[in-house]
A and B are shown apart, each in its own frame.
Chain A
Amino acid sequence: MTERSLAVESAPPTPEAMEAAWRRVQLARHPQRPRTLDLVPLIFEGFFELHGDRAFGDDAAIVGGPAMLDRRPVMVIGHQKGTDTESNIARNFGSPHPEGFRKAQRLMRLADKLGLPVVTFLDTAGAFPGPAAEERGQAEAIASSIKLMTGLQVPIVVIVLGEGGSGGALAIGVGDTVLALENSVYSVISPEGCASILWRSREEARTAAAAMRMTAADQLDLGVVDAIIAEPGEGAHTDHAATARAVKVAILISLQHLSGRGTADLLMTRYARLRGMGAYVETGAGPSRPPEAPSLRRRIGRLLRLPGVPRRPRWSEIWPSNDGDDESERGA
């Protein structure tokens, strides 16, 4: 990925692109779209849900437990949104707190211990941003979850089901194979969040959705997902059973590919996959050097111990602070 040709000519999104991207966002958020617990009984048998992170509590926004896939046990973990107001409140709209990620970690360790493949379903607008989540270490929970997955010694298949929202999605989204449903979306920040930061208006969410290239097809192009699972008819919400069948086949094929691999091979390939993410160029520019003070002045100054003679080259002379012009540029 070191070709300048990868760079894309930049232009504001066209209205058509905005409309197309926004249609996918709405389908991904569709209230009748199958959620993790809708698909799990249709794909697996004997799902046994386990609860609690063994440290603080149980987070209903993430569900998980062992289940049988074609008579072989696997560990299933997924975000869980509600289907109506009441269940959405109970599930916190699918936005996990730290204990949700720590529950997922606990289940992954169990899978690692017993050699069970891990299958995860991503469907969250993002990790919950409230004060309680901060107090309990939301960032640390996501970070250690990502770290655990990068070193897990069992195959991991990830399915982007609905919304793949930022770090909250990636926390259970590091895999050997990452699949996305046709109308799912995946993004570094919600389109509303991106719009309010870069366009300073939440109204520009459609523009942001197109600019971030968050549809499944875009993610395939960027190499973030490996394959797309076609949805039935107008979308997954029209036929849960058909969606489940398609997802099941995709999981089985992926696991079949992965199961022949040795652990070392599996981990090396997973590492290489992550290491290859992102585009940049190597310009071949040499390392920077701080300016040397004039040598005569330096020598005389040192000899006479003159005040104000720099004793050594200072890096702050090539990279100084310049106050007062901080652009309010932010990340996610």
Chain B
Amino acid sequence: MPIKFPFSRRAAPSDAWTKCPSCDAQVFNRQLERSLRVCPSCGHHFRMSVGERIDLLLDANSFEERDAGLEAIDRLGFHDDRPYAHRLEGSRVKTGLRDAVVWGIGAIDGQRVAIGIFDFRFMGGSMGAVVGEKLARCFETALAERIPAIVISASGGARMQEGTLSLMQLAKTTAPLVRLDESGVPFIAVLTDPTTGGVLASFASLGDVVLAEPKALIGFAGARVASDTVGEELPEGFQTAEFLLDHGFVDVVVPRAELRGALSRLLRLLPVPSVADDDRDDLDRAWSPIGALSGLAERVGGAVSESIGIDVDREPSANGNGPTEAVPAATDHEQDRP
């Protein structure tokens, strides 16, 4: 085991610079790290590792990884120029990860979340059985613990080396979202560079709120495929975060420095209703027009209640157990029935 000397100077890395692919500026790696991997001269957002995302988004010491031991196996015996198992091993060595997603429980400004984070460096962030399983468990845990789910995506799509089993991960990751809808647990999707193919065609497009990082490549088919298919030039900014914003598929494009703050605000604005399913009627009632009016009626001492015909005695304040059948409760949740 190498002995680390606390105050020893780090050896200068052989490549201390990174060239920005957008503006060609040479950026010090140390500087890039400090600026959250955003180019200081043009604002280009470099890709981030899982570790950097955790440091960026979650409260210190709050993240607990779950299901760390899941590992892919080669169900197809897939072999292109080398076996799938070798590719996996190569990515594991390169990234220190077991597969392309890490998930766990963390907190953002004290608000607990179930969060899944992609790392593009692991086989292009591609979604195979392990990625699908981890995300499904992430959603199911969010459901069981009634905490919001967040997924930070960076993926080329489904992992071809797992054949149709990887295609089925689209359905495996999407199915739990129906349950989140039914029991009122929000899901926030954050699309980062790149989010394409099968990942965009499943849970990533289905966030209750969809955020994206500036200029991130987001699209269904590869841009080259798209231009080959129609044999024409693609529109300016095709398949960028801003393109999706313009066409109504992304809510907000958030610069990286503001991402944590945006998530924190959203979590506060979209709270998980803290009641069991059976009590949903009461919850609805608190915000139904009559429920609000009955509170008002109490405060003005019955004057209003006479004029609009509410029996104050039969209609206690919002926290009481009034006769639910008398209340035309908001039906939003029932309409969500899939």
Task: Determine if A213 is an interface residue (Cβ-Cβ < 8 Å).
Answer: yes
- Mostly, the A contact residues are loop
Closest chain A CB from B243 CB (angstroms): 8
Q: Which of A137, A149, A290, A319 lies in contact with B95, CB distance below 8 A?
A: A319
How far, in Å, is B102 (CB) from chain A's closest CB? 8
- Per-position binary interface string of chain B over residues 232-253, scored 1 when its CB falls under 8 Å from any chain A CB and 0 otherwise: 1011001100000001110000
B163–A187 CB distance below 8 A: yes
A-binding segment of B196-204, B279-287, B314-322: B196-204
A198 CB within 8 Å of chain B: yes
> What distance in Å separates the Cβ of B43 from its nearest Cβ neighbour in chain A?
18
Q: Is the CB of A331 within 8 A of B73?
A: no
Size of interface on A: residues with Cβ below 8 Å to B: 98
Taking a contact as CB atoms under 8 Å apart, the answer to whether A139 and B229 are in contact is no
Instruction: State whether the Cβ of B276 lies closer than 8 Å to any Cβ in chain A.
Output: no
A138 vs B243: C-alpha distance in the bound complex, in angstroms?
13
Q: Is the interface of B mostly helix, strand, loop or mixed?
A: mixed
Contact B163 A167 (CB under 8 A): no
Contacts of A138 in B (CB 8 A): 201, 220-221
Complex CA gap A7/B84 in Å reads 11
Task: Name the B residues within 8 Å of A307 (CB-CB).
Answer: none
Given A286-B69, A321-B47, answer yes or no on A297-B6 (Cβ-Cβ < 8 Å): yes
Over the window 302-332 of chain A, the binary record of Cβ atoms lying under 8 Å from chain B Cβ atoms (1 yes, 0 no) is 0000000001111111111111111111111
* B93-137 contacts to A (CB < 8 Å): 94-98, 102, 104, 119-121, 123-130, 132-133, 136
Residue contact A131 to B76, C-beta cutoff 8 Å: no
A–B Cβ pairs within 8 angstroms, 14 of them: A9-B77, A10-B78, A10-B85, A142-B202, A212-B76, A278-B129, A278-B172, A279-B129, A280-B72, A281-B73, A290-B51, A315-B63, A323-B46, A326-B120
- Mark B residues whose CB is within 8 Å of A: 4, 6-7, 15, 18, 29, 37, 46-52, 54-55, 60-61, 63-81, 83-85, 87, 94-98, 102, 104, 119-121, 123-130, 132-133, 136, 155-160, 162-172, 174-175, 177-178, 196-206, 219-222, 225-227, 229-230, 232, 234-235, 238-239, 247-249, 338
The 8 closest A-B pairs by CB, nearest first: A278-B129, A151-B338, A319-B51, A129-B221, A331-B157, A8-B77, A331-B156, A331-B126
